[in-house]
Structure 1
Amino acid sequence: MASVEHCLYCFETLAAHLEGRKPMTLSEVQKSWAEYVRSTAAADAADSSKLSKRLPALRRVTEDSSSSSSSSSSASSASTSTLSLGPSTPETPVSSDSALAEDGQAAEAEAEAEAGQDVAAAAAAAAASQITESPLFVTWNTVSSRAGGGHSLRGCIGTFEPQELDEGLSSYALISALQDTRFRPVAARELPSLEVAVTLLTDFEDAADPMDWELGTHGLRISFHHHGRRYGATYLPDVAVEQGWTKEETLVSLMRKAGWVGKKDRWTEIQLNVVRYQGKKESLGYAEFKRWRDWVEAKGK
């Protein structure tokens, strides 16, 4: 399946091209990312440990405050008894102390959860590193800075021919960003607004009929002849779901994409050859790439 490292590599390739520097190789990115994950996990664990060590001291402070306040409270009139820091009142320092303990427990639980995620990420990365070639697509999206962060397509090109990932990802990262004729080439100033998605294609099968596929699971590659001309087009597995299309709407849209201009209610009269496939996709925003890249530069790698 596609991995974070694949996405980082695409960003690295494009950024290096636009900045006029030599990019890291895929294997260098994979090794660096593993080190980065370990480094940040260790830092997070250290921060959690520091918080846990601080809790006893914080408790002592609140206990001292409780003792002092209780002494003052005992000399107060009955009219101020609701401000007492005794154990039965909601305002008691015991509740604050419990909150501190809960914060520490939450931090420890979060650290354990993150450690589990790191293990899962490492396992996924190890599995991804075993894939050396695959048909693939690289998609660039522009992420809106407005609330909600809507996405708009900025470029998407790939190939159904298996590619060595080091060469294929770097090539199509640039081709989709700079040579998609539907858009102007991506400029350096746009990098902070971009998100990249890598889809490795698998499980190609001939569909029994145009409806023999599942929304959200399969991508489609269609081909057909009409008036002596051959047409063809593809949609990745996530396209139909993102657009909210039915199967029929997806097929008609795909035929339009291929260049067919017939009446949409007559699409069934066209003999379609449909190949369904699946796509193992991963995406990454520029902010995560920048954090990793800054770490790389700080390490002098």
Structure 2
Amino acid sequence: MASTVHCLFCFEALAAHLEKRKSMTLAEVHKSWAEYSRSVEDDSTGDVPADSSKLSKRLPALRRVTEDSSSSGTSSASNSTLSLGADTPATSTSSIPATGEEEEEEENDGPTPPTESPLFVTWNTVSERGGEHALRGCIGTFEAQELDSGLSSYAVISATQDTRFHAVRAAELPSLAVAVTLLTDFEPAADPADWELGTHGLRISFHHHGRRYGATYLPDVAVEQGWTKEETLVSLMRKAGWVGRKDRWAEIKLDVVRYQGKKVSLEYAEFKRWRDWVDGVEE
């Protein structure tokens, strides 16, 4: 399942790309986040290490992220785009090796995080008034990726190569939020209605008049849009490029693969607080 660390890493990868600097690795972000989380907790209990005292009053807003690293921020409606050449659904049950003593000391009775997975990275702009999210770019792949290289690559690709939008510029970073979805549990649907709203994402393919069509929606899209199953399928067919009559969609034979994946989100302000802490430690 995606985590806050994955979101931080995507922001770090995009920021480094736009600022023309070297990005931290996923393992480095993971270790740094663990250290940062402890420093925030120490600050909240009054037990502040001497070397972090100068930072102690800059970070309280991130406690809510620290307390539940799996929770997502405000969700966004994202018409997710398939990556080219990613035609085979895949999952992995590999585990992440410990990157340091700090990780070995953590007690974690939950499922072991994957080291590779199919994934999507979604960028949204956050309005200054009301905090509404608007899609800014979303690209992913159904082919399993090593998370270090996959997340860093798709963080940049989805921000700069989504043809629906112009490329994200460095000046836009403060207005962005990122969402990461790691995809799991791919299985053929028995029929076009064999899936659950809010649980399953859909990947459809079909032939019409000698042409092949295909498209996908992530699990959160239908619920965010308030669609029924039929409305979701018709919208997905439209997204694929089908222009037939809406009332005749059921006449077309759809191949439907359902999958799962919980989206986790993070806004730039939260990334910036962590990144300022990293820069302060390195000084």
**TM-score of the two chains, using structure 1 as the length reference:** 0.74
For residue 249 of structure 1, what is the aligned residue in structure 2? 231
The residue aligned with 1:276 is 258
Find the counterpart in structure 2 of residue 36 from structure 1: 36
Pick aligned residue for 1:239 from 203, 206, 221: 221
Structure-to-structure mapping, 1:1-301, within 5 angstroms: 1-46=1-46, 117=67, 130-147=113-130, 149-300=131-282
Query: Does structure 2 conserve the Cα–Cα contact (< 8 Å) formed by 1:202 and 1:280?
Result: no
- Cα offset, 1:184, TM superposition: 0.3
Higher helix fraction: Structure 1 or Structure 2?
1
Gap change, CA 1:263 and 1:125, over 3 Å in 2? farther
Unaligned runs of 5+ in 1: 49-112
Distance in 1 separating the partners of 2:225 and 2:191? 22
Aligned to 1:89: none
1:47-103 Cα shifts (integer Å, max 9, x gaps):
89xxxxxxxxxxxxxxxxxxxxxxxxxxxxxxxxxxxxxxxxxxxxxxxxxxxxxxx
The answer (yes or no) to whether the contact 1:3–1:124 under 8 Å persists in 2 is: no
- Cα 1:173–1:127 change in 2 (3 A) is farther
1:277 is paired with a residue of what secondary structure? Answer: strand
Q: How many residues align?
A: 235
Root mean square deviation, CA, Å: 2.4
Preserved contact between residue 5 and residue 30 of structure 1 (Cα < 8 Å): yes
User: How far off is 1:130 after superposition?
Assistant: 3.4
**SS at the partner of 1:171?**
helix
- Go from structure 1 to structure 2 and tell me whether the alpha carbon gap of 1:200 and 1:125 turns closer, same or farther (over 3 Å shift): farther
CA deviations 1:129-158 (Å, max 9, x no partner) are: 7310000000001111112x1111000000
Distance in structure 2 (CA, Å) of the matches to 1:192 and 1:178: 16
Give unmatched runs, 5+ long, in structure 2. Answer: 49-62, 72-102
- The TM-score with structure 2 as length reference comes to 0.78
Q: CA deviation at 1:280?
A: 2.5
Higher relative contact order (CA 8 A, sep 6+): 2
Quick check: which has more Rg, 1 or 2?
1
1:294 partner amino acid? D
Q: CA deviation at 1:118?
A: 6.8
In structure 2, what is the Cα distance between the partners aligned to 1:117 and 1:140?
24
Could you tell me which amino acid in structure 1 is paired with residue 212 of structure 2?
Answer: R
Deviation at 1:119, TM superposition (A): 9.9
Query: Which residue identity does 1:274 align to in structure 2?
Result: V
Match for residue 94 of structure 1? none
| Runs ≥4 residues deviating over 4 A | 118-129
CA offset at residue 260 of structure 1?
0.2
* Residue identity in the other structure for 2:198: G
Whole-angstrom CA distance in 1 between matches of 2:281 and 2:47: 21
Partner of 1:84: none
